Chain A
C-alpha cells in the first residue's frame, strides 16, 4: 500500500560524506512522526530534503503518490518550522503570518480571516502588531508555528522546534503541539535529538544513526523491544551484558554471561541469532534488588535520590556495573551504600539484542 508520504531509497552525499544513506520510510496521514538521533545522524538533512531545500543524490520522495523529488521548496505543500524560528525581523507578527498567504495571492479579507483564526488558536491576537524582537522565546515559537500552520500544509515539518525553550516551557509546549496536531488532523514530522521529546509527542519514531534508520516503531515498541544495542542505549537507560552461551528450554532461554557473572533468563525469540555476538538488556526500573535470595550478587556503590525515584549503582562481582531504579513511594530506602544485594528480574524484562 502506498503511504501518505513515502521516502524511497533516499540518499544524499556531500562529496565523500554520506549524510543520508539509502533510507526508505512510509509516513501515514495524521501521524506525528519523529526523526530521532544524535547530531550528525542525517535527520535534519532528511527533513530538509522533504521540505525541498536539499536535492537528494538519489531516490524519491512521494506525497500522496505524486513524486515531489524535483519540486522546488516554494511549490511544495509542506511548511517548515525552523530551529531558529527564522521570523522576519523587519515585519510585525501579523505580517510574518500573512507572508505565506500573500505569496499565494489570497484576497485581503481571506488573509485577515485566516490570521485571526490562527492567532486565536495560538494566543497571538494581542501580539499581532509587535516586532519579533519584542517577543519572548515562547511567543516567537508560537509565531513560527502560526506562520507555518496558516498555510494549511499537508505536512508540517518541525526542525528541533523546542530547542531554545527552557525545560518547563518545553514540556508544556510538547503537550500543546500534540493537542494542536490532533485537533487539526495534520501530519507532523519532527526532528529532535531529545529522546524524551520524541517519546512524548510521537505516534511513531524513527531512530537514526549515521545516515540510516535503525528502527521504526511506536514509542512503546522502540522502548520495550529495541532491536539493537544502539537503540536500547539511545532510548532511556539500560543495562547491557554480553551473552556468552545460550540454552533453550521451551519458550525460555538460559543465558550465561561472563560479563554479568551469572546466569540470565530471557524469553525465547528468533529475532536474534544466538550464534553471532548477542547481548541481554534490562531497563533499570525492571531490576529488583534484595538483601538475600538469588540473582546477580554485588554491592551498592552509589545511591542517588532524585525525588521521583532512587537510583542505585551496583558493582557486580564480575566487576560490571548494574543500574537499578525504585520509584519513591515515601518509605526510606532499606539499602545503603556498601550493602550486599542480589539483583534479579523476570525473564520478560530481558531483551535479546544484536549489535
Chain B
C-alpha cells in the first residue's frame, strides 16, 4: 500500500468532520454547565440528572423500548420465515414479486409508508396507540431483518438439513435442530438492527400513534419546538450510546459467525 497523500488525508478529515462534527458537538454540549446551549459554562452532568427526573421523558423511553422490543421480535420471526422461503424455494410462482415486495420498504419514502399505515388503521378502525406503532415498526424493520437473515441462510450448506433427514430426522425437526442453531448469530443481529431502527424512528411513529402514546423521539421533537435545551443534548447522547452499542453488538455477532463459517 502506498502512503496516503496530503490530498487523501485532507479529504478523509473533511469527510469525517462532515459526518461526525455535529454529533461530537452534541455530545460535548450535553456536559455543558450552562443553561444556554451555545455558551460553554464548564463541565457538568446536571442535564443527565434532569433527564432522569423528567417523568415525561421516562414515559416516552418506556414506550419506545417496549415498541422496539416487540416489533424487533415480530420482525425477526417473520423475517426468518421469509428468508427461508426465499433461499430454500428456488422456484415458485411470484417469487420475484415476493422478493421485490419484501425489499420495497427499504427504498420507499417513509412518509408514504407512514400515511398509508395511518389510513389502513383508520379504515380498519384500530385504535391508535402503542399497538399500531408496533405493527407499523414491524412492517418497516421486517425488510432489514430479512436481508440480514437471507444472507446468512444463503451461506448455510443445504446438505446440513439433508444430512439430518438422512439420519432419521423429519424435515421440520431437521430445520429446527440443525439450520436454526446455525442461524442464531444472524437472528441476534437481525433483532438488534430492527430494535435500533425502531428506537430512533420518528416519522412512522408520529403518523401511527394516538393520544397518550408518544415515543422518545416524538417527545424530543415536541420539546425542541420550545427551543433546544442542554437536556435535549443529554437525551440525544443517551440514545446515541444505545444505538451505537446495538450496532456494535450486531456487527460483532455477525463477524463472529462469519469467522466460524469460513473456518468450518
Instruction: Name which residue of chain B comes closest to A134, CB basis.
Output: B263
- Report how far A42 CA is from B171 CA in the complex, Å: 25
Query: Does any Cβ of B come within 8 Å of A104's Cβ?
Result: yes
- Report how far A100 CA is from B169 CA in the complex, Å: 8
Query: Does any Cβ of A come within 8 Å of B168's Cβ?
Result: yes
Given known contacts A88-B178, A89-B182, A133-B264, is B170 in contact with A74 (CB within 8 Å)? yes
Q: Are A104 and B168 in contact (CB under 8 A)?
A: yes
A150 to chain B, nearest CB (A): 9
Query: Does any Cβ of A come within 8 Å of B164's Cβ?
Result: yes
Q: Are B171 and A74 in contact (CB under 8 A)?
A: yes
- Report how far A200 CA is from B182 CA in the complex, Å: 37
Residues from chain B with a CB closer than 8 A to the CB of A132 are 264
Interface size class of B (residues with CB under 8 A): 20 to 34
Query: Does any Cβ of A come within 8 Å of B165's Cβ?
Result: yes
Residues from chain A with a CB closer than 8 A to the CB of B174 are 74
Residue in A74, A87, A88 whose beta carbon sits within 8 Å of that of B166 in the complex: A74
Residues from chain A with a CB closer than 8 A to the CB of B5 are none
Interface of B is mostly: helix
Annotate A18-35 by CB proximity to B: 1 below 8 A, 0 otherwise.
000000000000000000
Instruction: Name which residue of chain A comes closest to B163, CB basis.
Output: A86
Residues from chain B with a CB closer than 8 A to the CB of A230 are none
Query: Does any Cβ of B come within 8 Å of A82's Cβ?
Result: yes
- Report how far A82 CA is from B161 CA in the complex, Å: 11
Query: Does any Cβ of B come within 8 Å of A147's Cβ?
Result: yes
B153 to chain A, nearest CB (A): 14
- Report how far A51 CA is from B159 CA in the complex, Å: 13
Query: Does any Cβ of B come within 8 Å of A103's Cβ?
Result: yes
A63 to chain B, nearest CB (A): 15
Query: Does any Cβ of A come within 8 Å of B260's Cβ?
Result: yes
Query: Does any Cβ of B come within 8 Å of A268's Cβ?
Result: no
Q: Are B168 and A103 in contact (CB under 8 A)?
A: yes
A160 to chain B, nearest CB (A): 12
Q: Are B163 and A82 in contact (CB under 8 A)?
A: yes
Query: Does any Cβ of B come within 8 Å of A73's Cβ?
Result: yes
Which residues of B, 52-108, contact A by the 8 Å Cβ criterion?
none
Given known contacts A79-B167, A90-B182, is B157 in contact with A73 (CB within 8 Å)? no
Q: Are B168 and A100 in contact (CB under 8 A)?
A: yes
Q: Are A84 and B157 in contact (CB under 8 A)?
A: yes
Instruction: Name which residue of chain A comes closest to B160, CB basis.
Output: A86
Which residues of A, 46-78, contact B by the 8 Å Cβ criterion?
51-53, 72-75, 78
Q: Are A51 and B166 in contact (CB under 8 A)?
A: yes
Given known contacts A86-B157, A132-B264, A133-B260, is B168 in contact with A151 (CB within 8 Å)? yes
Query: Does any Cβ of A come within 8 Å of B181's Cβ?
Result: yes
Residue in B162, B170, B178, B263 whose beta carbon sits within 8 Å of that of A82 in the complex: B162
Residues from chain B with a CB closer than 8 A to the CB of A82 are 159, 162-163
Residues from chain A with a CB closer than 8 A to the CB of B171 are 72, 74
B191 to chain A, nearest CB (A): 19
Residue in B162, B181, B261, B263 whose beta carbon sits within 8 Å of that of A73 in the complex: B162
- Report how far A235 CA is from B52 CA in the complex, Å: 81
Residues from chain A with a CB closer than 8 A to the CB of B167 are 74, 79, 99-100, 103, 147-148, 151
Q: Are A73 and B159 in contact (CB under 8 A)?
A: no
Query: Does any Cβ of B come within 8 Å of A80's Cβ?
Result: yes
Instruction: Name which residue of chain B comes closest to A100, CB basis.
Output: B167
B261 to chain A, nearest CB (A): 8
Instruction: Name which residue of chain A comes closest to B157, CB basis.
Output: A84
Annotate A82-110 by CB proximity to B: 1 below 8 A, 0 otherwise.
11101111100000000110011000000
Residues from chain A with a CB closer than 8 A to the CB of B164 are 88, 99
Residues from chain B with a CB closer than 8 A to the CB of A151 are 167-168
Residues from chain B with a CB closer than 8 A to the CB of A52 are 165-166
Annotate B240-264 by CB proximity to A: 1 below 8 A, 0 otherwise.
0000000000000000000011011
Q: Pull 8 A–B residue pairs with CB atoms less than 8 Å apart, ordered by A.
A: A74-B171, A74-B174, A80-B166, A86-B160, A90-B182, A103-B169, A133-B260, A133-B264
Which 10 pairs of residues, A with B, have the shortest CB-CB distance? A100-B167, A103-B168, A86-B163, A86-B159, A133-B263, A89-B264, A90-B181, A73-B165, A133-B264, A82-B159
Listed in ascending order, the chain B residues whose CB lies under 8 Å from chain A are 157, 159-160, 162-171, 174, 178, 181-182, 260-261, 263-264
| Extra A-B contacts (17), CB below 8 Å, given A86-B162, A147-B167 | A73-B166, A74-B165, A74-B167, A74-B174, A79-B166, A80-B162, A84-B157, A86-B157, A86-B159, A88-B178, A88-B182, A99-B169, A100-B168, A104-B168, A132-B264, A148-B166, A151-B167
